[in-house]
A and B are shown apart, each in its own frame.
Chain A
Amino acid sequence: MYFGLSEEQKSLEENIQRFLSDNASLDIIKAVANGDEDKAKEVHKGIIELGLSGLIVPEEYGGLELNMLFATVVSTALGSGTAPVPFAGSYIMSPMAINLAGNAEQKNNWLPKIAGGEVQVGVGISEYVGAREDAGIEFTNGKVSGRSLFVIDGKGADAYILANKSGELYLIDSNNSGIEVVELTTVDKTRTSIELILNDVDAEFLEGSKDKAIIEKVLDAGRLMLAADTVGAAQVMLDKSVAYSLERKQFGRLIGSFQAVKHMCAEMAADLEPCHSMIWHAAHCQDNVPEEARLMACQTKAHISEVGKQVSKTATEVHGGMGFTDELGLHYWFKRIGLNRQLLGSPELVREEAGKLQGFDQ
């Protein structure tokens, strides 16, 4: 029995963290947030070179064929560095959807290119989780019409995978006619977000997605990636708080010697430490314990979102006025956690689903 990360997983996490500290410093994050797309592309290229685009793609299609535990390790590392790169949608959810629900031709067309970092496929399934503004898509006679909001990793994508209300998935080449891309600006400028407005656009059905288990698996995976990203970001916020409290003096003392500050840090640590175990456990269930996987994924997304919110608030407070400034840049982590919380279901929405999974409504 061993509960924890393997040496290989730990070193993968460290490699990504090292890459990000060398190549995506706070100055670069700020540049990207202020619209420097070239810098974002460089970092993106770097994570492709690290192999992250092919992380879960099967070996026969040129990927590394690693499991969800590896994927959460990567996502945690990316969150810790507020990495300005596409990941959850383009390199986890979309290859998983194509691999599980696509036919042989679709897999051959897309998976090797995803693994090689040649294409980016965005994922729009917000309307399956809970449609806002009555958005949604309809599929008739090979054509898709409608609207999809918050397509993850959709900006600059070569294709999109979208879900209708019953969870069926469609693959759409972004060059097809009838697509309008509306760029959305969220508080988190380390990642992009778009809305798609579709008018009779040619689309391929991913046949396997008739089985609802497919979208559930893709959704679980996406939620775990977002939760892991939050754990990574929140851990950095805690670490920065402790470090700051050991530098900053007031009343002739390090502020870290005041119990008010110590207790804030202890509460963050007490809330956050179990979240590392929870995300590993949830990923392990995705990989090996299917009967527990869905409930674990829902509760992990919900709980870690709550802890992330609390940690991001408290850590900002520990930094005092500096925490509120752009100069210190702590807000990039705060906003990253804020977006993760809402994507693919806010805690209340995901808990409602967790209740249904346990038959509480029966």
Chain B
Amino acid sequence: MDLEYGPQYDDFRAEVINFVKENENTKLTGPARSESRVAWQQKLIDHGYFARSIPKEYGGYGGDMDIIKLRIIAEEFAKSPIPKPAGGQGIQMLVPTLLSLGTEEQKQKYIKPTLRGEILWCQGYSEPNSGSDLASLQTKAELDGDEWVINGQKIWTSTAHLSQMCFILVRTEPDAPKHQGISYLLMPMDAEGIDRRPIKQMTGDSDFNELFLTDVRIPAENIVGKRGEGWKVANATLGHERGSLADPNVTQNRLNSLIDLMKSETIDGQRVIDKPIFRDRLLSIQGRLMAQQSNALRILSSQINEDQDANLAKSIVKLQGTELRHELEGLAIDAMGELGTLYEDSPHLRDEGAWQMTYMYFLGLIIGGGTNQIQKNIISERALGMPKEPKIQGA
């Protein structure tokens, strides 16, 4: 057991601290893809604080894959109001997919502008009738000359209204078994035939969309991997999404805010934190969080020490993290009582309504990214070695 990163990282940390201090007052202006945002992304790449291990030729920093350095960067950025590197599904999912399975031309064309924030991506996976059973998807693409012609419907497409491109799963081999009939295509969002309708969520926001695709034509070369290999291509990066949905270090920040809230809110003049049942609920959540933080250290360690196995530890992060976060936000609402129900721009609103918003948002994340019931299937089948549900004839 050794939780020290070692003195060889002291200089690197000092360098990061220095950068963060010099840039902590940077303010980004304008919408996504604005000049100041792209310039900031590029500055982070130039210093190796973003896209660190991605080769220079594709617009990355071209550094070594040193997990501890990535960790130090994340730790120091988290302590400061400095703008954080951009995220999103293009950076988290598409770039790793292209790096491992894309053609040279695709890497050249898409990775750099994606890293710089010039191209935003959305993910065209779920369909109205293919949610948890994603591999049953029916949106089809047929090759017509040197073009794919796409017809069908996608749903839960996050940020489709902001995106220039979509990585989409379509059925190209209708006669093959369901997992072997899917291809992974790259679809420009300005193509003819894409009709986008926003879905208004329970939070009041519209982060998701439905996409109606009618005779959408895209170049034949916009396929990643071979025909019928789309399921494998997509699965290569689903893990990236799940791991990032419930980082315990972010939950720690929320817990700190919750403690402050419970110290400042009062009932009949008594602080909420002094009420034993409220305090006990707070401490229970803290205990669960501490267990998840220890689990995260084990995962980090397994990334540094390659012979260390942490598969089960990794497979539970999304399930445990999203449930805990939903409960944490819910305790804040209970601590505020009637005041906790205030929303939008109501008088007496606390923290701009963030507790209700996040409480609902995390219910969405319990469902999204593979529902937590699907997570339990994955844990039981892949980590515990339990059998799959028997197939029902014809399904």
User: Taking beta carbons and an 8 Å cutoff, which residues of A are in contact with B?
Assistant: 1-6, 69, 242, 245-246, 253-254, 256-259, 261-263, 265-267, 269-271, 273-278, 280-281, 284, 288-289, 296, 299-300, 302-303, 306-307, 347-348, 351-352, 354-355, 360-361
Of A69, A273, A289, the contact of B295 (CB 8 Å cutoff) = A273
Chain A residue nearest to B308 in the complex (CB): A4
Chain A residue nearest to B284 in the complex (CB): A351
The 3 nearest A-B residue pairs measured at CB: A303-B287, A3-B301, A277-B294
Chain A residue nearest to B386 in the complex (CB): A256
Q: Interface code B1-26, partner A: CB below 8 Å = 1, 0 otherwise?
A: 11111100000000000000000000
Which of A3, A253, A254, A257 has its CB near the most chain B CB atoms (within 10 A)?
Answer: A3
Cβ contacts under 8 Å, A4 to chain B: 1, 298, 301, 305, 308
What are 5 A-to-B residue pairs whose CB atoms are below 8 Å? A259-B373, A266-B377, A269-B312, A270-B319, A273-B316
Q: Interface code B271-315, partner A: CB below 8 Å = 1, 0 otherwise?
A: 001101001101110111011111101101100110010001100
Of A253, A266, A296, A355, the contact of B283 (CB 8 Å cutoff) = A355
Cβ contacts under 8 Å, B387 to chain A: 246, 254, 256-257
Least distance between B37 CB and chain A CB atoms (Å): 33
- B298:A3 contact, CB within 8 angstroms: yes
- B313:A270 contact, CB within 8 angstroms: no
- B287:A2 contact, CB within 8 angstroms: no
Least distance between B205 CB and chain A CB atoms (Å): 29
Cβ contacts under 8 Å, A254 to chain B: 387
Of B1, B286, B292, the contact of A3 (CB 8 Å cutoff) = B1
Cβ contacts under 8 Å, B379 to chain A: 266, 269-270
- A3:B384 contact, CB within 8 angstroms: no
- B279:A355 contact, CB within 8 angstroms: yes
- B386:A1 contact, CB within 8 angstroms: no
Of A2, A273, A300, the contact of B312 (CB 8 Å cutoff) = A273
Cα A300 to Cα B291 in complex, Å, equals: 8
Tell me if B381 counts as interface (CB < 8 A to partner A). yes
Cα A59 to Cα B297 in complex, Å, equals: 32
Chain A residue nearest to B383 in the complex (CB): A269
Tell me if B269 counts as interface (CB < 8 A to partner A). no
Cβ contacts under 8 Å, B386 to chain A: 242, 245-246, 256-257, 261-262, 265
- B384:A242 contact, CB within 8 angstroms: yes
- A1:B283 contact, CB within 8 angstroms: no
Cβ contacts under 8 Å, A269 to chain B: 312, 316, 379-380, 383-384
Cβ contacts under 8 Å, B6 to chain A: 1
Chain A residue nearest to B387 in the complex (CB): A257
Cα A343 to Cα B295 in complex, Å, equals: 26
- B304:A354 contact, CB within 8 angstroms: no
Tell me if B266 counts as interface (CB < 8 A to partner A). no
Of B2, B294, B320, B377, the contact of A1 (CB 8 Å cutoff) = B2
Of A266, A281, A302, A360, the contact of B380 (CB 8 Å cutoff) = A266
Least distance between B164 CB and chain A CB atoms (Å): 38
Chain A residue nearest to B283 in the complex (CB): A351
Which of B276, B283, B301, B389 has its CB near the most chain A CB atoms (within 10 A)?
Answer: B283
Tell me if B79 counts as interface (CB < 8 A to partner A). no
Cα A245 to Cα B319 in complex, Å, equals: 22
Cα A242 to Cα B380 in complex, Å, equals: 9
Cα A288 to Cα B316 in complex, Å, equals: 28
Chain B residue nearest to A242 in the complex (CB): B384
- B313:A273 contact, CB within 8 angstroms: yes
Cα A261 to Cα B313 in complex, Å, equals: 20
Cα A300 to Cα B294 in complex, Å, equals: 11
Least distance between B33 CB and chain A CB atoms (Å): 37
Least distance between B366 CB and chain A CB atoms (Å): 13
Cα A257 to Cα B387 in complex, Å, equals: 5
Tell me if B74 counts as interface (CB < 8 A to partner A). no
The majority secondary structure among interface residues of chain B is: helix
The majority secondary structure among interface residues of chain A is: helix
Tell me if B390 counts as interface (CB < 8 A to partner A). yes
Chain A residue nearest to B1 in the complex (CB): A284
User: Taking beta carbons and an 8 Å cutoff, which residues of B are in contact with A?
Assistant: 1-6, 68, 259, 273-274, 276, 279-280, 282-284, 286-288, 290-295, 297-298, 300-301, 304-305, 308, 312-313, 316, 319-320, 373, 375-377, 379-381, 383-390
- A277:B295 contact, CB within 8 angstroms: yes
Cβ contacts under 8 Å, A302 to chain B: 283-284, 287
User: Beyond A263-B380, A360-B273, A360-B279, is A270–B320 a contact (Cβ under 8 Å)?
Assistant: yes
Contacts beyond the supplied A1-B4, A257-B388, A273-B312: 15 A-B pairs with Cβ under 8 Å: A2-B305, A4-B305, A242-B385, A256-B387, A257-B386, A257-B387, A270-B319, A274-B294, A276-B298, A284-B3, A300-B287, A302-B287, A303-B290, A303-B291, A351-B280
Least distance between A224 CB and chain B CB atoms (Å): 13
User: Beyond A273-B313, A274-B294, is A1–B280 a contact (Cβ under 8 Å)?
Assistant: no
Cα A254 to Cα B280 in complex, Å, equals: 41
Chain A residue nearest to B4 in the complex (CB): A1
- B2:A265 contact, CB within 8 angstroms: no
- B380:A1 contact, CB within 8 angstroms: no
Cβ contacts under 8 Å, A257 to chain B: 386-390
Least distance between B227 CB and chain A CB atoms (Å): 33
Cβ contacts under 8 Å, A307 to chain B: 291
Cβ contacts under 8 Å, B298 to chain A: 3-4, 276-277
Cβ contacts under 8 Å, A5 to chain B: 1
Least distance between B281 CB and chain A CB atoms (Å): 10
User: Beyond A245-B386, A273-B313, is A280–B5 a contact (Cβ under 8 Å)?
Assistant: no
Chain A residue nearest to B309 in the complex (CB): A4
Which of A273, A278, A281 has its CB near the most chain B CB atoms (within 10 A)?
Answer: A273
Least distance between A283 CB and chain B CB atoms (Å): 8
Chain A residue nearest to B323 in the complex (CB): A270
Which of B287, B290, B313, B389 has its CB near the most chain A CB atoms (within 10 A)?
Answer: B287
User: Beyond A246-B386, A299-B286, is A277–B1 a contact (Cβ under 8 Å)?
Assistant: no
Chain A residue nearest to B5 in the complex (CB): A1
Cα A264 to Cα B290 in complex, Å, equals: 23
Which of A69, A245, A267 has its CB near the most chain B CB atoms (within 10 A)?
Answer: A267
Cα A288 to Cα B4 in complex, Å, equals: 11
Cβ contacts under 8 Å, A3 to chain B: 1-3, 297-298, 300-301
Of A1, A256, A284, A351, the contact of B287 (CB 8 Å cutoff) = A351
Cα A106 to Cα B390 in complex, Å, equals: 67
- A262:B292 contact, CB within 8 angstroms: no
Cα A254 to Cα B381 in complex, Å, equals: 14
Chain A residue nearest to B316 in the complex (CB): A270
Cβ contacts under 8 Å, A245 to chain B: 386
Least distance between B283 CB and chain A CB atoms (Å): 4
- A263:B376 contact, CB within 8 angstroms: yes
Cβ contacts under 8 Å, B274 to chain A: 360-361
